């Protein structure tokens, strides 16, 4: 299997320049002295999550002629997601002038539907079980391109641009903590960081209620968890599981994987809000939860945690802070 390379990620970085925010590293002066901490705030991306990196790279990678033909024929792109990938594809498509159909399950919170429509995408609401089949039907009917949430080299390379920035800004980094769900972000960030900072360790972090990737790495092959089990965690962005493609990357680039509890995730959200004035969604706080509560399982040293996103309901946020 061909893995995404540093060159692929550099190409992606050239393509998405101007489309995604080059997020700064934020210091955390309150952290332990022997393992100083910086945050990579992907929640500050225009759509509030790192997903814009992969989606922008995927849109940019559509060959120009294909894109123009697609627009002329109204084909465009299709994605299915109830989460950050929906808004990411909608915004990237709008920026590239490409029509987008986003398939969302009925019952998706109105705020996410509105957020997706804000970027001019056509939202198609279907029963949860018909989400994928509807997306594939639209691809066929429209002659459109599917933009998958993580299972594609262009997506992995796009997410990897976050790792490229970490390595460029902070070549002396010793530990990078990144959340794992479908594995696109961890695959891309790990590939960039390990290539450019060979002495840095890269650890994945999962909710213990959706620890399928941890199980998979231990077993040496993808271990499936039932959807209902993975759905228990408060970290609603981390309920997917790796594919063969992302799993191959995770095996190659991760030094390990640790898991955290839902209570620890909520505490990390509070710490980000009160100490660094950042709003993280539960999934975005997972790596900091590991920094705070799993130090014994991690190398000590200069640490970067990726705050992957910040799209959280106001009511939930008030509840976590209150």
User: Closer CB to a second copy, residue 248 or residue 289?
Assistant: 289
Label the pairing between strands 303-307 and 145-146.
Answer: unpaired
Task: Report the nearest approach of a second copy to the CB of residue 212 (Å).
Answer: 28
Task: Report the nearest approach of a second copy to the CB of residue 93 (Å).
Answer: 14
Instruction: Report yes or no: 189 and 163 within 8 Å, Cβ to Cβ.
Output: yes
Query: What do you get for the CA distance between the two ends of the chain, in Å?
Result: 48
Token pair listed for 114: 């509105």
User: Closer CB to a second copy, residue 43 or residue 259?
Assistant: 43
What span, in angstroms and rounded, lies between the C-alpha atoms of 186 and 306? Answer: 10
Residue 295 falls in the annotated catalytic set? no
Instruction: Report yes or no: 4 and 246 within 8 Å, Cβ to Cβ.
Output: no
User: Closer CB to a second copy, residue 30 or residue 297?
Assistant: 30
User: Closer CB to a second copy, residue 44 or residue 126?
Assistant: 44
Task: Report the nearest approach of a second copy to the CB of residue 27 (Å).
Answer: 5
| Phi, psi of 267, deg, nearest 5 | -65, -40
Catalytic residue among 51, 81, 82, 194: 51
CB proximity list for 322: less than 8 A, separation 6 or greater: none
User: Closer CB to a second copy, residue 65 or residue 314?
Assistant: 314
Residues of this chain that interact with a second copy (CB under 8 A) are 21-24, 26-27, 29-30, 41, 43-44, 46-48, 91, 118-119, 270, 273-274, 276-280, 310-311, 314-315, 317-318, 321-322
Task: Encode 109-138: b = buried (16+ Cβ within 10 Å), e = exposed.
Answer: eeebbebbeebebebbebeeeebeebbeeb
Token pair listed for 13: 């970085």
User: Closer CB to a second copy, residue 94 or residue 243?
Assistant: 94
| Phi, psi of 142, deg, nearest 5 | -90, -15
Token pair listed for 59: 């849109």
Angle, CA of 140, 142 and 146, to the nearest 5°:
65
Task: Report the nearest approach of a second copy to the CB of residue 287 (Å).
Answer: 16
What span, in angstroms and rounded, lies between the C-alpha atoms of 19 and 95? Answer: 8
Task: Report the nearest approach of a second copy to the CB of residue 282 (Å).
Answer: 13
Instruction: Report yes or no: 217 and 270 within 8 Å, Cβ to Cβ.
Output: no
Catalytic residue among 56, 81, 187, 308: 308
3-state class (DSSP) for residue 256: strand
Task: Report the nearest approach of a second copy to the CB of residue 32 (Å).
Answer: 13
Instruction: Report yes or no: 44 and 23 within 8 Å, Cβ to Cβ.
Output: yes
Active site residues: 51, 308
């Amino acid at each position: 299997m061909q893995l995404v390379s540093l060159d692929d990620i550099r190409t992606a970085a050239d393509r998405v320049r101007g489309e995604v925010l080059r997020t700064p590293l934020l210091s955390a002066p309150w952290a332990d002295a022997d393992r100083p901490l910086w945050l990579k705030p992907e929640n500050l991306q225009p759509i509030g999550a790192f997903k814009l990196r992969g989606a922008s790279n995927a849109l940019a990678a559509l060959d120009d002629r294909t894109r123009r033909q697609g627009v002329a024929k109204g084909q465009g792109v299709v994605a299915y997601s109830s989460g950050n990938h929906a808004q990411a594809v909608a915004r990237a498509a709008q920026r590239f002038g490409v029509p987008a159909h986003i398939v969302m399950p009925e019952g998706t919170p109105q705020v996410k539907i509105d957020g997706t429509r804000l970027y001019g995408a056509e939202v198609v609401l279907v029963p949860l079980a018909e989400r994928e089949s509807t997306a594939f039907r639209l691809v066929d009917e429209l002659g459109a391109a599917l933009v998958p949430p993580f299972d594609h080299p262009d997506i992995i390379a796009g997410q990897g641009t976050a790792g490229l920035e970490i390595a460029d800004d902070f070549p002396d980094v010793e530990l990078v903590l990144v959340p794992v769900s479908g594995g696109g972000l961890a695959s891309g960030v790990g590939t960039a960081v390990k290539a450019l900072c060979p002495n840095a360790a890269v650890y994945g972090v999962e909710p213990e209620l959706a620890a399928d990737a941890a199980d998979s790495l231990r077993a040496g092959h993808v271990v499936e968890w039932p959807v209902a089990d993975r759905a228990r965690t408060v970290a609603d962005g981390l309920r997917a599981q790796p594919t063969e493609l992302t799993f191959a990357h995770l095996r190659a680039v991760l030094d390990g994987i640790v898991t955290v509890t839902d209570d620890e995730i909520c505490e990390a959200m509070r710490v980000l809000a009160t100490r660094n004035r950042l709003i993280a969604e539960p999934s975005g706080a997972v790596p900091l939860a590991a920094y705070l509560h799993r130090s014994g399982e991690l190398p000590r040293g200069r640490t970067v945690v990726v705050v992957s996103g910040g799209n959280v309901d106001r009511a939930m946020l008030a509840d976590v802070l209150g």
